């Protein structure tokens, strides 16, 4: 198994359709990066966060990015569940993001995610960022769309616990959902930890469709 140190990543773009998506899919990785990479620059974009979810998204992003050197947080107002019909205006937002931030890594939703809003962001990430490393994160859901990711980022026990603690703290509007529980997130970390032989037993997992290796 080939391993690459996280330290070569300095600028990340995190894209999430809804206010808790980035945290669930890549929150542990962001915490690991913020702790280990001095000068981490982050652009964090949530496309839909109606009502109280906007404040949830903002306060959560502030906590997840507390150790980042630079953080740009954007909260959009696109209509939840209707992203396919808003494609042109969402594409315009992607172009604005690209004009202002050139990331080392783009984190977006899984291409085969069964949520239509998630798929729009995944497709537009590939459509917009043509010379970037794009990693697609996963979100457990009723539809049962988990697959076999091929890139893993181990999480320390401390980071795994911190991510879950922040999810429980910030997203009170989601607390009634049957899947939004500590053990759901612990289980995901453990399953992906087993699959990459993580020394801590915990990890987040991603889909990497294209990787370019350079001679230097
Ligand atoms: Zn979502």
| DSSP output for 120-165 | HHHHHHHHH-SSSEEEEE----TT-------EEEE--HHHHHHHHH
Nearest Cα residue to 94 out of 61, 68, 62, 120: 120
For residue 2, the model assigns a pLDDT of: 74
| CA pair distance 149, 189, nearest whole angstrom | 13
The residues placing their C-beta within 5 Å of ligand 1, an ion, are: 17-18, 21
Rg (CA), the chain: 16
CB 24 within 8 A of CB 118: no
**Which residues of the chain fall short of a pLDDT of 50?**
none
CA of 24 relative to ligand 1 center, distance in Å? 9
CA of 214 relative to ligand 1 center, distance in Å? 34
| CA pair distance 211, 9, nearest whole angstrom | 14
For residue 155, the model assigns a pLDDT of: 98
CA of 118 relative to ligand 1 center, distance in Å? 6
For residue 183, the model assigns a pLDDT of: 97
CA of 148 relative to ligand 1 center, distance in Å? 20
For residue 153, the model assigns a pLDDT of: 97
Structure tokens at 182: 């500590």
For residue 214, the model assigns a pLDDT of: 85
CA of 11 relative to ligand 1 center, distance in Å? 23
For residue 84, the model assigns a pLDDT of: 98
């Amino acid at each position: 198994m080939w391993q690459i140190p996280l330290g070569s990543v300095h600028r990340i773009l995190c894209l999430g359709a809804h206010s808790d998506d980035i945290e669930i899919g890549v929150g542990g990785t962001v915490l690991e990066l913020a702790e280990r990479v001095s000068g981490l620059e982050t652009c964090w974009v949530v496309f839909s966060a109606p009502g109280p979810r906007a404040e949830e998204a903002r306060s959560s992003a502030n906590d997840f990015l507390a150790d980042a050197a630079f953080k740009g947080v954007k909260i959009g107002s696109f209509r939840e569940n209707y992203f396919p019909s808003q494609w042109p205006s969402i594409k315009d937002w992607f172009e604005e993001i690209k004009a202002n931030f050139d990331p080392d890594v783009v984190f977006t939703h899984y291409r085969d995610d069964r949520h239509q809003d998630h798929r729009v962001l995944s497709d537009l990430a590939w459509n917009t960022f043509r010379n970037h490393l794009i990693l697609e994160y996963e979100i457990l859901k009723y539809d049962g769309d988990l697959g076999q990711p091929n890139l893993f980022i181990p999480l320390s026990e401390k980071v795994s616990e911190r991510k879950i603690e922040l999810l429980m703290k910030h997203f009170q509007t989601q607390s009634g959902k049957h899947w939004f529980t500590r053990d759901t997130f612990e289980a995901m970390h453990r399953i992906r930890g087993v699959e990459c032989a993580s020394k801590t037993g915990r990890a987040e997992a991603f889909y990497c469709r294209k990787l370019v290796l350079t001679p230097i």
